[in-house]
Structure 1
Amino acid sequence: MAITPLIEPQVWREGSTLALRELAPSDAGALEPILGDPDVMRHIDLGTLDSAGVAALLARARADQADPARRGYRLGIVQRGDGTLVGTIALDVQGLSNAHSHSIILRPGMANMTAGFEAVHLILGVAFEQLELSHVWCTCYADNTVATRLFLATGGVLQAEHARGFHFFSILKDQWRDVSSLTLREALTLLRRNGAVSPAIAARSGRLRPQSPA
C-alpha cells in the first residue's frame, strides 16, 4: 500500500523563540487542550472548543490554505527549538491593503507579555512584509489588559472604545517598523513615557483621546 509522504507545513515567519506556520490536521491533539481551556479562551469570541470544534477550525484553516484568492490566515504558533505547537493567531485580509488580526491564543503558562509580544510582531511581519499590506486593525476586549498593552507596544494606536466593551487599534506599517526592533522592556518603557500603558485611564486623564475609525 502506498504511503502518503508527510508534507511539512509552510513556515511563514520566525522570531527569536517562536515561529508561525500553517496548521495541519495532525495539530488537533495539541490544540484541543488549549482551545478547550476556559481560562485561555475567556477573551476569545470562539469560546471553548471541543474536539469537533477544533476539527472544524482546522478544516477552515486548510480550506483557506487551498484558496487561490486566500483572505484568511489561521496560523499555528510554535516553539522554534522543538516545533511544539503552543497556540494560534489569525489574520483576515480586508480590501486591497488592510487586515484584521485577532484571536491570539497561547497555551496555559505561555499567555504572557513575552510570548504575546513576539507573536504579535510575527503576525504583523507577515502582514506588512510578506503580504505587503499597509494597515492592520487589532481588536480585544477592553478588560484584556495584556492584549491592550501588546497592541500598543507593537505600534498600535487606540482608535475607539466600543460600547460593547472592545478596544480597536490601528497599526500602520511605518508605525510598526518604528518599534519592530525594540525589546519588550524598551517598548513598555516607551509606553510609560508616553503615558499610554492603559488607554482607558489615559483617555480619562486627557493624555490619550480615542478617535473614531476613519
Structure 2
Amino acid sequence: MRGYEIIGKGLGLREVRPTDVDALLAIYGDPAATQHLPFAPRTREEVEQIVAEAIEAASQRPRRLYVFAVVEADTDEVIGVARIRIEADHPHSAEMGIGLRPDHWGRGMGSDLVRLVLRYGFTRLGLHRIWGARAPANTAAQLAMLVAGMVEEGRIRHHVWTSDGWRDSIVHSALSDEWESHRSG
C-alpha cells in the first residue's frame, strides 16, 4: 500500500484526491450516512468543493486541516472519510470527524478508524488533545469512540441546527498521555 499516510488493521488513510469525488459522494451524499451529521446530504458539486478545499489546505503552512480518504487495505477501495482540524488558537488540540459508507457499518471499522485518526494525530502531528462530537442518537459513534479509548466529556445543548431543528452534541476526547496508556494496556 503505497502513498498512505498511515495503515491500521484493515484500513489505511491517504490524502484525498480529485478522483475521490464519486467515492466520497457515496458518503456525503447518502441520507443514511449523513443522518447524524449536522448537514443534509451533499451534492456532487459540494463534494467537489470539499475535495478542492482539502487539497488547498494541504499546501497551507501552518497546516490546520487534514482530510483523508479511508481505504480498505485489501482492495484500496475508498470506503470512508476522516478529517482532523487543528484549532488555530490551540495548536495542540484538534477536532476529528469520521464517516463510513453505510455498507461497511456494523463490522467494527468505526473503532478501528477512530484509533487510526488518534494514532495519526498523536504520533504524526504531535497533538495533545483530540476531540469529536456526535449526535446523541448516534450510538454506533459512541461505541466506536469509547472502544478506541476516547472519554465522553459531556453534552453541548442546542449545538447544531439541522433540518429537524436544534440538536445537542455529545463530546468525546482523548489525551495523548491517556491514549498511550490505553494503547499499551
The one-letter amino acid paired with 1:84 is E
Residue number in structure 2 paired with 1:51: 44
The 3-state SS of whatever aligns with 2:76 is: coil
Question: 2:111, 2:30 → 1: CA distance?
Answer: 21
Residue number in structure 2 paired with 1:78: 71
The 3-state SS of whatever aligns with 1:89 is: strand
Q: Which residue of the other structure, out of 11, 25, 28, is the alignment partner of 2:4?
A: 11
Gaps of 5+ in 1: 1-7, 183-214
TM-score by length of 1: 0.76
Structure 1 pair 181–36 and aligned structure 2 pair: CA distance change class (3 A):
farther
Give the conservation status (yes or no) of the 8 Å contact 1:9–1:24.
no
Gaps of 5+ in 2: 159-167
| Aligned residues with identical type, % of pairs | 26
Residue-by-residue CA offset, 1:148-207 (whole Å, 9 max, x unaligned):
12212222222211222211112111222233357xxxxxxxxxxxxxxxxxxxxxxxxx
Give the conservation status (yes or no) of the 8 Å contact 1:9–1:21.
no
Question: 1:40, 1:181 → 2: CA distance?
Answer: 32
Residue number in structure 2 paired with 1:158: 152
Quote the RMSD (CA, aligned, Å): 1.8
Structure showing greater radius of gyration is 1
Residue number in structure 2 paired with 1:168: 171
The one-letter amino acid paired with 1:157 is V
Q: Alpha-carbon deviation of 1:45?
A: 2.0
Give the conservation status (yes or no) of the 8 Å contact 2:112–2:148.
no
Say whether 1:126 aligns with 2:120: yes
Residue number in structure 2 paired with 1:199: none
* Equivalent residue runs for 1:1-214 within 5 Å: 10-94=3-87, 95-102=90-97, 104-112=98-106, 114-164=108-158, 165-180=168-183
Question: 1:179, 1:125 → 2: CA distance?
Answer: 12
Structure 1 pair 181–44 and aligned structure 2 pair: CA distance change class (3 A):
farther
Structure 1 pair 181–114 and aligned structure 2 pair: CA distance change class (3 A):
farther
The structure whose residues are more often strand, as a share, is 2
The 3-state SS of whatever aligns with 1:123 is: helix
Give the conservation status (yes or no) of the 8 Å contact 1:23–1:58.
yes
Residue-by-residue CA offset, 1:21-71 (whole Å, 9 max, x unaligned):
000001112222222110111112242111101101100110111112110
Residue number in structure 1 paired with 2:161: none
Question: 2:103, 2:24 → 1: CA distance?
Answer: 15
Equivalences, count: 174
Residue-by-residue CA offset, 1:134-154 (whole Å, 9 max, x unaligned):
111111111111111221222
Q: Which structure has the higher relative contact order (CA within 8 Å, separation 6+)?
A: 2
Residue-by-residue CA offset, 1:61-103 (whole Å, 9 max, x unaligned):
101111121100111100111210001011111122111112x
